[in-house]
Structures are given as structure tokens and as C-alpha cells.
Amino acid sequence: MEHQNPSDEKPLTLPAKLLHQLRTNLLFNSKWAELNGAMGDLGTYIPIILALTLARDLNLGTTLIFTGIYNIITGAIYGVPMPVQPMKSIAAVALSNPDFGIPEIMAAGILTGGVLFVLGVTGLMQLVYKLIPLSVVRGIQLAQGLSFAMTAVKYVRNIQNLPKSKSIGKRPWMGLDGLILALVCACFIVVINGAGEEQRTRNSNSNSNTREDQEQEILPINRFDKFKKKFKLVSIPSAFLVFLLGVVFAFVRKPKLVNDIHFGPSQIEVVRITRRAWKDGFVKGTIPQLPLSVLNSVIAVCKLSSDLFPGKDFTATSVSVTVGLMNVVGCWFGAMPCCHGAGGLAGQYKFGGRSGACVAILGACKSTLGLVMGTSLVAILSEFPVGVLGVLLLFAGIELAITSRDMRSKEESFVVLVCTAVSLVGSSAALGFVCGFFVYGVLCLRKLGSGKSFSEIWMNGSETL
């Protein structure tokens, strides 16, 4: 019997390759883990979207439909839990400025997306990605993570007026949105997920390169880990159960919510943007948003994804283009300006997201809710326990901040801390970036007498600083 030589096999056609890649990117590594991971980004998504819906009449139904589609597409393209988050700087301006309405928000999103799209297709974003030192990126990630964590603690400790982004008093210990509930949810997640311990792995056959033979296994390292493995507690979707509990409590807090729900999608219309709205959107929205989008939505996301998913590297060009297209298209119809974010990626990874299926699930849920319930969903979200959202946001922020632990030298750590301190105190990632970039350059100049050129010292920072 003749055996076919593997080299004689016909190569896959382009459609077959795309279909194979699509199946790989949307593969469920674990259905409960991917479902749990999908909840990791809601701590930032829900408060911002809810606040803009209540304060600026954002079309919640349209935003859910479009962001759901974005989730599905990015999950299929990248094969990692790539988040879709509201643009935070634009949202902050809209919530603090009564004259910055829906036309200005959408104009800012379209212009920001257009700039990112141009930076991507011209290759300039990839050049920026290569030139920015890792220590500066880690500083931005640490600052963003700590900012999320501090906001989360504020959500847990204080009663929030989300439309005005203000605390209005201390949160009571008891009640359906009390401190006890938040602390119990936090303890539950820690018990199930721990501190996100790194997995120790072993290969069933070190001489084989197949996926099955190289399957990684979590090894129990103490009695409690063995207990969790024995009773399959590791598969409990902790974040999903916490979120589900919040939904149940929303109806318990206000049983008449059922009467406020109306079925059917919101009306989707093209937003009319005046010349003044274009101007205000660019000056007040695009200019402060661009540095944050470039650093956190593109550069930091690419760096973090290479850390978390070594085999899933993708270029800054592609990420910049997808962010640009999302906003150039969706904002015309009233969908909130969106981007990717290192915090969302870290949060979804923290709770178990490992493939594009994680965000595809979330996207399908968003789009379905947008089509079925439309803007009436805001009635449920308004009663959702904010302290519970704070717990989810806390773990996402910590997971992002932890990524800065890989700095090898005191000089690199110095750059990270300078960048972080300035970003937090000045409330500006751009200012922190500039200071960190400058400090890194000065440290490189001090090494010029070592026999290497400045460009070599700059590009090999961890080895030369």
C-alpha cells in the first residue's frame, strides 16, 4: 500500500485558509472560562455607557449593536479576547461639559478614528510601536491599572452619581448594594481565581509538536489548589456568577423594572454634525483622546498581547486600522466612540478569556440585547449594584498593573515609576509618556561611552540600561 507523501498534499486555497483561521481564532478552550472572561471588561464598559445614556441621551441600543459587532469581528480577526471599550477621554469631556452633546461626541470619535486609520495604513503606527521603550509602555500600563483600581475602590466605598461622575456619600454596610455584598463578591472571586497564579505546565510528550501533545495543565501547588482541582472549582465562572447576581439584585431592588422594558431595537439614524460640532469635537475631544488611544489602545495592547499570548502576535498597524474603522463607521449612526484597551484585555484574561470566542460571546449578547430591548435596557443597568461593578473593575486594574513586574533593572523600574507618578498626579497618560520618554533618553545618553551607538542603546534598553 502506497503512503502519500505529506509534501504532495495540495495547499489550502485562500478561502480554506481563512475559514481554518476563523475556526482557530473562535475556538473554545473552555466554554465556562471564555464565558467568565467575557465579564472581565464590564467594570469599565457599563458605568461609562450608562452615564452617557442618562446624561447625554446616548442611544444605548445602537451602541450595544455596533459594539457587539465589533467584538465578534475583532475576536475572529485576532483570536484573543480583544476588548472593545468606550473612549474614556471623550466620555469624560462629555460628562463634564453640558455643551458637548451627541454631535460633538460622534465628531470626536470619527476624527480620532480617522487619524488612527491613517497612522495604521501608512505604517507610522508600527514605527511608533518599535521606537517606544518597553519601560515607558509598562509605566502607562501601571498608571492605567492603578487608576482603574482606585476608581474601583471609589465605586465600592461610595454611592455614585454616574451621570455626574461624583460620589454622593458613603455606601452603607448592609443592603442590596452595600459594602457587605461587594466584599463577599470580591472574596468569592479571590477564592475561585486566586491572585491569577502563573500556570506551571508540563508536556505529555516533549518530543511532539502537536497541540494535543503539548497541552498545558495547571498543576496544584498546595492543598487548596488540590481541593479546587478535585471538586472542579477551577471551572466555576466566578465573574459571570457575580454579574448574574447583580442582575438579579437589580430586579429585587426595583421589581417594577419589568414594566419599564420595551421590546424592539432603538431607531438607528444618521447623526447630523454641524461645522461647530466638528470643531468642538476635534478641539475638546480628539486632541486629548489621541495620545491615550495611541498609547493604551494600540501600543500597550500589542505589548500586553505579546506577553499574554506569545503565539498570537499582531502588528500595531492592524490594531490601529481596526480601531479607526470602528469609529469611522459606527459613530455616524450614534454608536459611542470605541477603542481597544490594555485594561480590558487584562481583565478578560484574568477571568479566563484565552481566545476570540470570549469576546465573540460578549458581542453576540450585546447585539442581541440591543436588538431585543434597545434603550429600555438602561432601566435595568440603572439599578445594577455599582459596588459589584467596582469589584470587577478592581481585578481588571490589578491584572493590568501586574504586567509591569517584568522590569529587569533599577533604571527601567525608575522610568516606569516616573511615568506612572506623572500620569496619575497629572491625570494625563500623555504627560506621563512625555516625562518617561525624556527620562529614558537621558539614561541612554549616560551610556554613550560604552562603545555602542545611541540607537543601539535605545533599541536594547533592557540590556543596556
User: 126 φ, ψ to 5°?
Assistant: -65, -35
Report residue 422 as a C-alpha cell: 506623572
What number is the average pLDDT over the span 217-230?
A: 55
For β-strands 338-339 and 158-161, DSSP reports them as unpaired
CA neighbor of 265 nearest in space, from 359, 334, 322: 334
Rounded CA-CA distance 206/126 in Å is 36
129 contacts 306 by C-beta, under 8 angstroms: no
Q: Which residue has the cell 447625554?
A: 56
How confident is the prediction for the chain on average, in pLDDT?
82
Report residue 289 as a C-alpha cell: 483622546
CA neighbor of 148 nearest in space, from 429, 393, 347: 393
Q: What percent of the chain has pLDDT over 70?
A: 86
Task: Quick: pLDDT tens for 50-102.
Answer: 888 888 889 999 999 999 999 999 999 998 999 999 998 899 888 878 889 99
What number is the average pLDDT over the span 253-265?
A: 83
Task: Quick: pLDDT tens for 99-146.
Answer: 899 999 999 999 999 999 999 999 999 988 888 888 888 888 888 888
Whether pLDDT at 453 is above 80: no
* 322 membership: H or E segment, kind and range: helix 316-330
User: What pLDDT, on the 0 to 100 scale, is given for residue 212?
Assistant: 39
User: What pLDDT, on the 0 to 100 scale, is given for residue 210?
Assistant: 39
Task: Quick: pLDDT tens for 282-294.
Answer: 988 898 888 888 8
What number is the average pLDDT over the span 266-283?
A: 91
Whether pLDDT at 440 is above 70: yes
User: What pLDDT, on the 0 to 100 scale, is given for residue 462?
Assistant: 53
What number is the average pLDDT over the span 167-178?
A: 88
Q: How confident is the model at residue 221 (pLDDT cuts 50, 70, 90)?
A: low
Task: Quick: pLDDT tens for 31-55.
Answer: 778 888 888 888 778 888 888 888 8
In this prediction the pTM is: 0.80
Rounded CA-CA distance 451/412 in Å is 20
User: What pLDDT, on the 0 to 100 scale, is given for residue 41?
Assistant: 80
Task: Quick: pLDDT tens for 422-436.
Answer: 988 876 777 888 898
Task: Quick: pLDDT tens for 360-413.
Answer: 999 999 999 999 988 888 888 888 888 888 888 888 888 888 878 878 888 889
Please state, as a whole number, how many other Cβ atoms lie within 10 Å of the Cβ of residue 331: 27
Q: What percent of the chain has pLDDT over 90?
A: 26
Compare 396 and 274 and report the one with higher pLDDT.
274
Specify the 3-state DSSP secondary structure of 354: coil
Q: How confident is the model at residue 182 (pLDDT cuts 50, 70, 90)?
A: very high
Please state, as a whole number, how many other Cβ atoms lie within 10 Å of the Cβ of residue 432: 27
Whether pLDDT at 228 is above 80: no
